[in-house]
Amino acid sequence: MPSYSYLQQFDPQLFSLLQKEEERQNNELELIASENYVSRAVLEAMATVFTNKYSEGYSGHRYYGGNQVIDELENLAIERAKKLFSAEHVNVQALSGSPANAAVYMAFLEPGDKVLGLRLDHGGHLSHGHNVNFSGRLYNFVQYGLNPETGRIDMDEVRKIALQEKPKMIVAGFSAYSREIEWEKFKEIADEVGAFTFADIAHIAGLIAGGVAKNPVPIFDVVSTTTHKTLRGPRGAIIMCKEKFAKQIDRAIFPGMQGGPHDHITAAKAVAFGEALKPEFKVYAQQIINNSRALANKLSSLGYQVVSGGTDNHLMVVNLHPRGLSGKEAEQTLENIGISVSRSTIPNDPNPPLNPSGIRIGTPAATTRGMKENEMEQVAIIIDSALNNKNNSETLNTLKQEVRKLCQKFPSPSATL
Ligand SMILES: *Cc1c(COP(=O)(O)O)cnc(C)c1O
């Protein structure tokens, strides 16, 4: 295990920041849906001499000498990812989710081409056509939204817009949507209008790998995912596609978008995929959903409105408008007692995006710590109590101690110091 003795000796300033962040992670409850705690094995793989190497190109075709071992390393990561997701082709060099998506667009589209994606304020991602993002500036995004009554994606509506707009690509996959995605229906619609199908499974990749959510990889043309969310690997991404698109995807990543891959991160990706292939990971993935449902049910029973009425995955969006609270106020109040959540828009939010009406809550990180349904119910009660007493510093202080005690019972597996 890295002891950080060199950091401690040679850069005490940095070391003290590390200590502070470890303490925060250990003593506070992480309910941000996109975060997780990696294993020590994943952490160790990142802190290796693989970081010293330049390996532009692909296995057997590198632009630098000395890549014999890196070729083996990259092939290992690819083989494991293929097995995990039943993929025909995998590129493991994408540096993160957004650049991976940029490469996907570059591989399939010309600037100005039309793409159909989910509205950001309904749970989509910035890289799915938001006007401040490269995607919205380079491509002509048209958007579908959630049904205002059900809070779910209305596939008839998606079909109607697709027939009307005739996009060249349809994007499915979201940052704040709590229901199963009907991949086959997306594919049928895309086939009807002659569009490419692109799934962005950044959030749910771990659930898919664990066999508790449906896998779009065998169905869609191309699929991207981050590796650091439910998949519990290092920060990074991969792209999976049908063999017939392999060349154009690889070329879009290098030399299209990126230079050299981050080989130490590739190493950590391989370790994480190896972990996700183990039977224990299936148990983990199922527990994420059990926990998410327990939390959503308890919050509902305490009078909170969960968008779409519940959850099938690792997250939920809670509408605080009926409680007279803003997402920002709730995020701040919970931060004060050591719980991290992220403010979130709700479908057709009456408030502006900078001060939206909801919070997004997720269970992947808490589940990694070993928490189960009982703890989730306890957490729901703590959240409710904090939001009801947001101006009562005494109560907030008591709740903070309670959160701390709970966290100390379930140590973070990433803890090193
Ligand atoms: C998190 C996320 C991304 C972006 O990942 P980064 O690594 O932060 O760039 C892309 N798409 C979706 C759906 C996401 O949730």
Q: Is 174 in the pocket of ligand 1 (CB under 6 A)?
A: yes
**Which of 127, 230, 239, 360 for mutating ligand 1's site (highest number of atoms within 8 Å of CB)?**
127
pLDDT along the chain (417 residues), means of 10: 82 96 95 97 97 97 97 98 98 98 98 94 88 93 91 94 98 93 97 98 98 98 98 98 98 97 98 98 98 98 96 97 95 97 92 92 98 98 97 97 97 85
In what side-by-side order are the strands of the sheet with 89-91?
89-91, 237-241, 222-226, 196-200, 169-172, 114-118, 140-144
CATH topology of domain 288-409: Aspartate Aminotransferase, domain 1 (3.90.1150)
pLDDT at 224: 98
Q: Which two tokens stand for residue 164?
A: 């009307």
Residue nearest to atom 15 of ligand 1 (CA): 175
Q: Which residues are catalytic?
A: 54, 56, 200, 226, 229, 235
For the chain, the straight-line distance linking the first and the last C-alpha, in angstroms and rounded, comes to 10
pLDDT at 123: 83
> Which atom of ligand 1 is found nearest the CA of 173?
13
Distance 201 CA to ligand 1 centre (A): 9
Q: Is 200 in the pocket of ligand 1 (CB under 6 A)?
A: yes
pLDDT at 166: 98
Does the domain formed by 44-276 have CATH 1.10.10.10?
A: no
| Alpha helix stretches (DSSP H) within 131-204 | 134-138, 155-165, 183-193
Distance 104 CA to ligand 1 centre (A): 13
Residue with tokens 């975060």: 35
pLDDT at 313: 97
Distance 117 CA to ligand 1 centre (A): 14
pLDDT at 193: 98
> Which atom of ligand 1 is found nearest the CA of 235?
7
Q: Is 173 in the pocket of ligand 1 (CB under 6 A)?
A: yes
Q: From CA 230, how far away is CA 272, in angstroms rounded? A: 11
Instruction: Please state, as a whole number, how many other Cβ atoms lie within 10 Å of the Cβ of residue 219.
Output: 15
**Which of 95, 96, 98, 230 for mutating ligand 1's site (highest number of atoms within 8 Å of CB)?**
98
Please, are residues 106 and 98 in contact by the beta-carbon 8 Å criterion?
no
Instruction: Sketch the domain layout of the chain as residue ranges.
Output: 44-276, 288-409
Residue nearest to atom 10 of ligand 1 (CA): 97
Distance 34 CA to ligand 1 centre (A): 9
pLDDT at 2: 54
Distance 120 CA to ligand 1 centre (A): 12
Residue nearest to atom 6 of ligand 1 (CA): 97
| Alpha helix stretches (DSSP H) within 221-340 | 246-251, 263-276, 279-301, 327-336
